[in-house]
């Protein structure tokens, strides 16, 4: 169990954490999700003791560790860029936490062998980190962090430096590992897909604050505000009304159609029709030049005969429209949509944390 209360952290004039409180129950896998600069990494590093808070407290397993150095917090930390000990073999890397505690050699050996098997690196123990692939290096880093039996496992964009395929494989592997090992885990990511894929609970951060905490279904189906809706899953704005692209209904205009545009209902020009396997994404532009996308099934697309250059009515049905507040302190939807676009583009890593 990790409890952070009233955490505040400033870097010069930039407020990275602004009165953040979060409770992370034992044995769960929680993702801290947000765009860059949202404070998610700072929150994780504060839990680890790698940053010291300007205000607030961190309690790990009932012990107030706010003023305790990282060495004594009982944590395991995994970095985006592996932080491998390059001059040591894989075995020595994994054994590091145990050898500096002067544990008996036989015990260290047994523990390292066990961990190397868990992370699938048996047979690689005599290699150096430079001789491993990125995915292997990160699994080594994970074994190294787990070797000291940490109270909590903290992962800072652990798959951010890997290519899309390895990333997807590794996060599913991490989820299975977590189901076996059950150590309380906190994972920082800017990738909503990754958060939805692995986490029991997601905390969405924006501008140093937590916007919403909940399980993936709740966040997707019942977002508290426009930022959460925009950041988790894709979103389109139909005449100013926010709606999920797959909820948009497209209609062909009748020959003598005189209906006017209104909230949740606009006449738009089809710019492009993209087939995404089962789904078809229709890229649209309304009379004001505002671009948005709708997603329909192939059947519907064929039935309507959607072709680029033609006009259609895009309607946000009332059951799909949620009247959401802006997040406090005005998170502009356009801004959020941009962040979402960056986050959902597979393979594009977030630039390293400032």
Partner 1 sequence: MPPARGTRAPGGRSLQVGLVVTWLSVIVLLPLAALTAKSFAGGVSGFWDAVTAPTALAALRVTILVSVAVALLNAVMGTLIAWVLVRDDFPGKKVVNVLIDLPFALPTIVASIVLLSLYGPDSPVGIHINATRWGLVVALAFVTLPFVVRSVQPVLLEADREVEQAAASLGASGPTTFRRIVLPTLAPAIISGTGLAFARAIGEYGSVVLIGGNIPRETQVASQYIQQAIEIDQPVNAAAVSVTLLAIAFVTLFVLRVAAGRGRRREEEVR
Give the residues lining the site for partner 1 (CB under 8 A).
48, 50, 69-72, 75-77, 79, 81, 83-87, 96-97, 100-101, 128, 130-133, 141, 144-145, 147-148
Q: Which is nearer to partner 1, 87 or 275 (CB)?
A: 87
Q: How far is the CB of 331 from partner 1 (least distance, A)?
A: 30
Q: How far is the CB of 127 from partner 1 (least distance, A)?
A: 9
> 126 burial class (0-12, 13-18, 19+ CB within 10 angstroms)?
exposed
SS3 66: coil
The structure tokens listed for 68 are 């305790």
Distant-in-sequence, close-in-space partners of 134: CB < 8 Å, separation ≥ 6? 82, 161, 162, 163, 166
Q: Which is nearer to partner 1, 132 or 235 (CB)?
A: 132
Q: Which is nearer to partner 1, 73 or 244 (CB)?
A: 73
Q: Which is nearer to partner 1, 124 or 231 (CB)?
A: 124
Cβ–Cβ < 8 Å for 121, 139: yes
Alpha-carbon gap, residue 93 to 86, rounded angstroms = 9
Q: Which is nearer to partner 1, 146 or 301 (CB)?
A: 146
Q: How far is the CB of 203 from partner 1 (least distance, A)?
A: 21
Distant-in-sequence, close-in-space partners of 308: CB < 8 Å, separation ≥ 6? 270, 271, 272, 273
Q: Which is nearer to partner 1, 96 or 220 (CB)?
A: 96
Q: How far is the CB of 336 from partner 1 (least distance, A)?
A: 30
Nearest to 53 by CA among 10, 2, 12, 22: 10
Q: In what order do the strands lie in the sheet with 29-33?
A: 75-78, 152-156, 184-189, 29-33, 201-206, 209-214
Q: How far is the CB of 83 from partner 1 (least distance, A)?
A: 4
SS3 168: helix
Q: Which is nearer to partner 1, 104 or 325 (CB)?
A: 104
Q: Which is nearer to partner 1, 78 or 294 (CB)?
A: 78
CA angle, 70 as apex, 1 and 108 as ends, to 5°?
90
Q: How far is the CB of 94 from partner 1 (least distance, A)?
A: 10
Q: How far is the CB of 82 from partner 1 (least distance, A)?
A: 9
C-beta atoms surrounding 184 within 10 Å = 21
Q: How far is the CB of 297 from partner 1 (least distance, A)?
A: 45
How would you classify the pairing of strands 265-276 and 279-286?
Answer: antiparallel
């Amino acid at each position: 169990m990790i409890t952070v209360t009233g955490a505040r952290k400033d870097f010069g004039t930039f407020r990275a954490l602004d009165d953040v409180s979060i409770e992370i129950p034992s044995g769960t896998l929680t993702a801290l999700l947000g765009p860059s600069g949202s404070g998610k990494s700072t929150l994780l590093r504060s839990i680890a003791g790698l940053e010291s808070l300007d205000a607030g407290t961190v309690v790990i397993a009932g012990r107030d560790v706010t003023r305790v150095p990282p060495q004594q917090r009982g944590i395991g930390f995994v970095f985006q860029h592996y932080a491998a000990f390059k001059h040591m073999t894989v075995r020595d890397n994994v054994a590091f936490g145990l050898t500096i505690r002067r544990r008996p050699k036989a015990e260290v050996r047994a523990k390292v062998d066990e961990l190397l098997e868990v992370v699938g690196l048996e047979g690689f123990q005599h290699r150096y980190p430079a001789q491993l692939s990125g995915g292997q290096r990160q699994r080594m880093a994970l074994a190294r962090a787990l070797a000291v039996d940490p109270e909590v496992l903290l992962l800072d964009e652990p798959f951010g430096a890997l290519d899309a395929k390895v990333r997807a494989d590794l996060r599913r592997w991490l989820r299975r590992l977590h189901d076996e090992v059950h150590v309380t885990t906190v994972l920082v990511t800017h990738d909503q897909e990754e958060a939805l894929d692995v986490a029991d609970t997601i905390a969405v951060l924006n501008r140093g604050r937590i916007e919403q905490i909940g399980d993936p279904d709740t966040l997707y189906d019942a977002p508290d505000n426009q930022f959460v809706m925009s950041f988790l899953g894709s979103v389109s704005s139909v005449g100013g009304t926010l709606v999920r692209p797959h909820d948009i209904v497209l209609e062909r205009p009748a020959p003598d159609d005189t209906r006017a545009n209104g909230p949740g209902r606009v006449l738009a020009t089809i710019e492009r029709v993209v087939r995404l396997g089962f789904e078809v994404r229709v890229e649209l532009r309304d009379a004001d030049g505002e671009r948005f996308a709708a997603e329909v099934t192939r059947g519907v697309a064929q039935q309507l005969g959607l072709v680029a250059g033609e006009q259609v009515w895009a309607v946000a049905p009332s059951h799909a429209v949620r009247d959401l507040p802006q997040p406090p302190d005005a998170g502009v939807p356009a801004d959020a949509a941009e962040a979402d676009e960056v986050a959902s583009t597979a393979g594009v890593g977030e630039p390293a944390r400032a």
